[in-house]
């Protein structure tokens, strides 16, 4: 990753109302992400600030200062029904800058104080720092932490997710949270045709998740919305040019053919049975496109 600019952006509204998901509210202490995952669906959200989905997404990160204080005001409203709040839908809440600003931790403390259930999606290992708050949330309202893991192949990981902690470090973080009584699991997502969809890759992730105490595992095939699509196809042209035409054929629109999606789901379900993850708990709904009825910036 190159030089990153962090811009403090005072928060005016914390909670985003969403539609089309199992949760009704999302919360993002940061916008933009240094993890640099080339397939990230959230790249397109940088367009809300008239910035690009490519280099801008990983090099300009907005820090939403004061978000926890605004969140507490919103949670005190008589109309608040303590619906589940999702963190990690628009950017990773545990990218490295969280170590300095601690906005995610402050938001989790506010949600725990107000008995509000939380779901977190992350690739960041800094989440283990907040084990105490996650335990309090678990007791007060319910909490799930989902670690996104696409592959254990280190060469492939470095190309696909250049700014993220190595997958084995994420698995160790998963193990620590599970041992601490926090509901934690893996989202084997996104599955990338021709890159991470081989039976051996899928099984290696499912087996490792089981070995590290995952109580659930879900999966989803990559989808390429406008913004993300252009960036990802450019990445393929540079790093995996032999796959470029196949992706253009498979993705005339945002989604892969349903038969391909179904085959991945069936394969992963069988692997969960084999490695005794199936039956522990159902996985939360995986991240996917949803309509934001408001955009808190």
Q: What average pLDDT does the structure give for the chain?
A: 90
Candidates 145, 86, 91, 94; CA nearest to 116 is: 86
User: Is pLDDT above 90 for 47?
Assistant: no
Task: Give the tokens for residue 247.
Answer: 């992706």
Q: Mind spelling out the 3-state secondary structure of 203-229?
A: HHHHHHHHHCCCCCEEEEECCCCCCHH
pLDDT-based confidence at residue 291 (cuts at 50, 70, 90) = very low
Q: What is the pLDDT of residues 116-132, one digit of tens each?
A: 999 999 999 999 999 99
pLDDT at 194: 98
Q: What is the pLDDT of residues 228-285, one digit of tens each?
A: 999 999 999 999 999 999 999 999 999 999 999 999 999 999 999 999 996 555 656 5
pLDDT at 75: 98
Say if CB 281 and CB 216 are below 8 A apart: yes
Q: Where are the domains of the chain?
A: 5-291
pLDDT at 41: 86
Q: Is the CA virtual torsion 112, 114, 120, 122 positive or negative?
A: negative
Partner residues linked to 186 by β-bridges: 147, 217
| Mean pLDDT score, 88-101 | 94
pLDDT at 81: 94
pTM: 0.91
**Other Cβ atoms within 10 Å of 187 Cβ, number:** 24
Out of 57-61, 85-89, 108-112, 242-246, pick the least confident: 57-61
| Mean pLDDT score, 54-71 | 88
Q: What is the pLDDT of residues 16-25, one digit of tens each?
A: 998 777 788 9
User: Is pLDDT above 80 for 289?
Assistant: no
User: Is pLDDT above 80 for 88?
Assistant: yes
**Other Cβ atoms within 10 Å of 77 Cβ, number:** 8
Please give the CATH number for the structural domain made up of 5-291: 3.20.20.70
pLDDT-based confidence at residue 294 (cuts at 50, 70, 90) = very low
Number of residues in the chain: 297
Candidates 110, 113, 108; CA nearest to 133 is: 108
């Amino acid at each position: 990753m190159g030089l990153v600019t962090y811009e403090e952006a005072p928060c005016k509204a914390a909670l985003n109302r969403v539609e089309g998901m199992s949760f009704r509210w999302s919360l993002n202490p940061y916008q933009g992400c240094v993890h640099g995952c080339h397939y990230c669906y959230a790249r397109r959200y940088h367009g809300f600030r008239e910035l690009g989905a490519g280099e801008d997404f990983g090099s300009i990160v907005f820090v939403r200062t004061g978000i926890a204080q605004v969140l507490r005001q919103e949670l005190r409203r008589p109309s608040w029904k303590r619906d589940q709040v999702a963190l990690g839908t628009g950017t990773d809440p545990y990218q490295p800058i969280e170590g300095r600003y601690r906005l995610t931790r402050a938001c989790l403390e506010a949600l725990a104080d107000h008995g509000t259930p939380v779901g977190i999606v992350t690739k960041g290992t800094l989440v283990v720092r907040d084990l105490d708050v996650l335990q309090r949330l678990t007791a007060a309202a319910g909490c799930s932490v989902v670690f996104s893991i696409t592959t254990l192949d280190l060469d492939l990981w470095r190309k696909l997710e250049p700014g993220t902690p190595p997958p084995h470090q994420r698995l160790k973080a998963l193990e620590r949270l599970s041992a601490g009584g926090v509901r934690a699991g893996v989202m084997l997502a996104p599955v990338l045709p021709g890159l991470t969809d081989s039976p051996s890759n899928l099984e290696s992730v499912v087996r490792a998740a089981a070995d590290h105490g995952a109580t659930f595992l879900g999966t989803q095939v990559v989808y390429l919305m406008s913004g993300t699509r252009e960036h990802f196809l450019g990445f393929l042209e540079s790093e995996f040019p032999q796959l470029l035409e196949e992706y253009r054929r498979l993705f005339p629109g945002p989604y892969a053919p349903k038969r391909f999606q179904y085959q991945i789901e069936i394969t992963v379900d069988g692997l969960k049975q084999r490695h005794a993850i199936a039956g522990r708990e159902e996985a939360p709904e995986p991240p996917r496109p949803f309509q934001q009825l408001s955009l808190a910036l």
